[in-house]
Structure 1
Amino acid sequence: MPASRSRWSPYRVPAFAAALLLLLGVGIASVWGASTLRSSNAWIGHTYEVINRIEVAERALRSTEANARAYRLTGHPEFRSQYLIAIHQVEVAHEALGAAIRDNPPQDARAKRMHASAQVHLAELRRLFDLQELQGAEAARQATDSGLTLQQWNEFEAAASEMRREELSLLAERKARSDRYATLLISIVVLGMLLSGALMVTLMASVTRENKRTRRLELEARGAAHEMALSMAQVDQLSKQRHELARYSGLLQSCQTLEEIVQLSIATIRRLLPGASGRFYLIRASQNFHDSVASFGEGLISSTDSLLPADCWALRRGQAHVVSGGEDLQLTCAHLDAGTPPHGVTALCLPLTAQGTSIGLLHVSAATHAMDHGSALDELIGQLAEQLGLAIANLQLRETLRTQSLRDPLTGLFNRRYLEESFVRELQRCDRRGLPLSVLMLDVDHFKRFNDTYGHAAGDALLGQIGRQIQAGVRAEDIACRYGGEEFTVVLPELDAPGALVRAEQIRRAVELATVQHLGQQLGPVTMSIGIATFPVDGLTPELLLQLADATLYRAKAEGRNRVLHASYED
């Protein structure tokens, strides 16, 4: 007697079509999400470019003011030439900034206000310059209105700060929008997969019910029930593992150091794969070697402390590579000991990548029976490796951005912004404790002539070496900064005038004795002029101390260069 058809039979084809449509919808949503995220990232990059152009415009105006001041103080024709060049650089910087924000009317208005403030400030500098050309440097210095200059500069800084705040606000909005798109995409994909899976399960259940009419199918159904019980146990185990992976993902976002990331990953792998062992490798900056940064377990399979990309099939192929002991015709990685893995042990190599770039390798070895749950566990470990790679890349990026925000990339010293933030704090601390504080203003002698002779690349090499010489000549609590161009500033907390003179002379002597190696050529030596001012004798505010140290620096240059002068000492 033929089996009667299930009442759900007429709905099978529509259900199957619905599942296909859901999967198609998930695919379309994925393509849309990728396109949207790409566009969002492009706008984020544009915001960073605008912020950089604002910084360039500020530096150009600072350079113009510094050269104009130096020319008024010394009358040296070199500073006159540099001042005239810097004026043109201000216009170029503002033109580039205007081109970058032309699509944003409010920002364009702020840029014009910023440009107008710069023009007013340049006009004041031009007036003093013309006065000096006609009546001499003394007349220009007497005509200098520091209050007006400061007011003009504050107006320019206010406009620049408003633009920077607006760009940072846009950056936050664009990042938030990118996060919303990512969340929406994940929701659509998960919902689509769940619905299509539910339809597929319904179809399978309908077919199973129809095949229970005969005794043979009844016996098979009993066997299937037994297998179902085993499957449920596996599903339960897989659910626990996925919960563990979700917990790992949440904790990973809070890790702040590489050590925390590695320790969290080791603990998670051990919970997913009890008895597992392995190593974490990170690629060197040279991109030639992968060095071991941590290992765990009892070493079921021995792996080298360092390896070349060619030593691992996972790094060659850019995807996971599995080798099980006892199976023939397998490609074993060269970083594993010969003859491994042994029978009953499986080796798994997973490349750690972020944005398509390799940053390391995760090697895991475990008993083969522990990884016999099919590809699900391999997939979980693979997802862990993906999240681990992204977390390490984000950590490296955060560290790079933090360093860039505080350090000058050419010399490795702190930048001017860090100086402005830290100088006030150190001065207040010394004032409260009744301690002195000295400020050094350092400038490379004849740096323009060095650049003209050897080229800008050699000039950059020279500034990098001088930065290292200054860093080596100060204490850990001192603040060594690149003030701008070839000018440096060192804040020496708790150091009086005699001590500052000794420290400055040590730095001057070290620079004088050093030479620069560039493109196989030995350049130099060069010299430095240094001006010093000490709190509280020479001034009570950071601005006054910097101005006095700067004026003393130019006095040192006027008296012959390659010397150290203190504002309170007359040679």
Structure 2
Amino acid sequence: MVGLENGATRAFDAVSRIVRETRAEQDAGSYWRAVARQTAECMGYRAAALGIVNGEGMLEFTVFGEAPDCHDEKACREAPALAPDGSWISAPLTGIGRSIGTLICYGHGAGAFAADDLRVHVELCDCLAVILEAQMATENLAQALHQDPVTGLYNRKHLLKRIDEEISRTERYGGQFAVVFLDIVGLREINAAFGHGMGDAVIEAVARALKRSFRGSDAAARFGDDEFAVLLPGADKPRGQIVANRISRTVACTPIARDGVRMQGPDLDWCVVAHPVDGSTRDQLLAAREDASMS
């Protein structure tokens, strides 16, 4: 694609621009998405998939551009093979004594990358790793302010903030997003029959299903005692319905045990609202949620 010297210059320019253009991002999902976007745009790639190791040791991918839609680690390990033209390049993101993720980039057309491009890509990833590890440390300090202590998901306040940010983003750049709302059916009765310990186990099981179902750019939150919500940037209502169905089926098939009591996972009532079709403001979207019949 390019000579080594010119490519290295582009790599350093890309890192400088990534730092500059992502400085205003306030949450992890927006930050990782901005990094993927700036990487693809600055380096002239067709797409970029940024994978970051989460607290459970799994890769969560944020994809920008025309690349495989990666929702879990297995899918993203297979992502290069799914590139339509077979043109991709990948390198690890290595922090201090540990791997923090990987960066997969997709070129324009078959044979888009040469050996020099791999060296430039590795250099880019080495520089990015320093920046991203510092960002992760900052996020860990801030996490307690917007995290639900029982589930480890975002809390209601933070999700509402994320919705406002997505509204501003779509108004500026165009696009859409969806929000999936899910309620646990019969949680009060479960608490009454088996105790709050079993109720907490049910809540934790739903939270685990949510964590396995979203991309790095998505945001899942405990929205109330028995309520959850998932923000899906870039998704329309049909996509949100697919996600809601998948989560509901996963929870229903999950056995739950606590203090010698066993039960099958509960049913979930859910609805999906989308911006801008269901509202252009946060209040309008929440009102649409109240008006929607839970499926």
> TM-score, structure 2 length as denominator?
0.51
2:189 to 449, 454, 459: 449
> Larger radius of gyration, structure 1 or 2?
1
Deviation digits for residues 125-184 of structure 1 (CA, Å, limit 9, x no counterpart)? xxxxxxxxxxxxxxxxxxxxxxxxxxxxxxxxxxxxxxxxxxxxxxxxxxxxxxxxxxxx
Q: Does 1:536 align with 2:263?
A: no
Q: Distance in 1 between matches of 2:272 and 2:291?
A: 9
Q: CA deviation at 1:465?
A: 1.2
Q: CA deviation at 1:510?
A: 0.8
Aligned AA (1:513): C
Q: Distance in 1 between matches of 2:233 and 2:179?
A: 9
**1:526 equivalent in structure 2:** 266
**1:486 equivalent in structure 2:** 226
Whether the 8 Å CA contact 1:442–1:529 is kept in 2: the answer is yes
Q: CA deviation at 1:423?
A: 1.3
Indicate the SS of the match to 1:406: coil
Q: CA deviation at 1:418?
A: 1.1
Q: Does 1:497 align with 2:228?
A: no
Structure number with higher strand proportion = 2
**1:155 equivalent in structure 2:** none
1:415 to 109, 133, 155: 155
Q: CA deviation at 1:514?
A: 1.1
Deviation digits for residues 336-387 of structure 1 (CA, Å, limit 9, x no counterpart)? xxxxxxxxxxxxxxxxxxxxxxxxxxxxxxxxxxxxxxxxxxxxxxxxxxxx
Indicate the SS of the match to 2:182: strand
Q: Does 1:512 align with 2:248?
A: no
Q: CA deviation at 1:433?
A: 2.5
**2:145 equivalent in structure 1:** 405
**How do residues 126-165 of structure 1 correspond to structure 2 at under 5 angstroms?**
none
Q: Distance in 1 between matches of 2:185 and 2:177?
A: 26
Q: CA deviation at 1:530?
A: 0.5
Whether the 8 Å CA contact 2:253–2:264 is kept in 1: the answer is no
Indicate the SS of the match to 1:411: coil
Deviation digits for residues 454-507 of structure 1 (CA, Å, limit 9, x no counterpart)? 101111111011111011111111111111101111111110111111111111
Q: CA deviation at 1:427?
A: 1.7
Indicate the SS of the match to 2:144: helix
Structure number with higher helix proportion = 1
Q: CA RMSD in A?
A: 2.3
Over 3 Å counting, the alpha-carbon distance change for 1:550 and 1:468 in structure 2 is: farther
Q: Distance in 1 between matches of 2:228 and 2:186?
A: 15
Q: Distance in 2 between matches of 1:401 and 1:485?
A: 25
Indicate the SS of the match to 2:207: helix
Aligned AA (1:489): A
Over 3 Å counting, the alpha-carbon distance change for 1:535 and 1:400 in structure 2 is: closer
**1:369 equivalent in structure 2:** none
Over 3 Å counting, the alpha-carbon distance change for 1:492 and 1:400 in structure 2 is: closer
Over 3 Å counting, the alpha-carbon distance change for 1:538 and 1:449 in structure 2 is: same
Whether the 8 Å CA contact 2:194–2:261 is kept in 1: the answer is no
1:473 to 195, 200, 213: 213
Indicate the SS of the match to 2:149: coil
1:463 to 176, 197, 203: 203
Whether the 8 Å CA contact 1:441–1:488 is kept in 2: the answer is yes
Q: CA deviation at 1:534?
A: 0.9
Q: CA deviation at 1:401?
A: 5.7
Indicate the SS of the match to 1:517: strand
Whether the 8 Å CA contact 2:183–2:227 is kept in 1: the answer is yes
**1:429 equivalent in structure 2:** 169
Q: Distance in 1 between matches of 2:188 and 2:215?
A: 30
**How do residues 64-83 of structure 1 correspond to structure 2 at under 5 angstroms?**
none
Q: Distance in 2 between matches of 1:446 and 1:527?
A: 8
Higher RCO (Cα < 8 Å, 6 or more apart): 2
Over 3 Å counting, the alpha-carbon distance change for 1:431 and 1:400 in structure 2 is: closer
Aligned AA (1:504): A
Q: CA deviation at 1:520?
A: 3.7
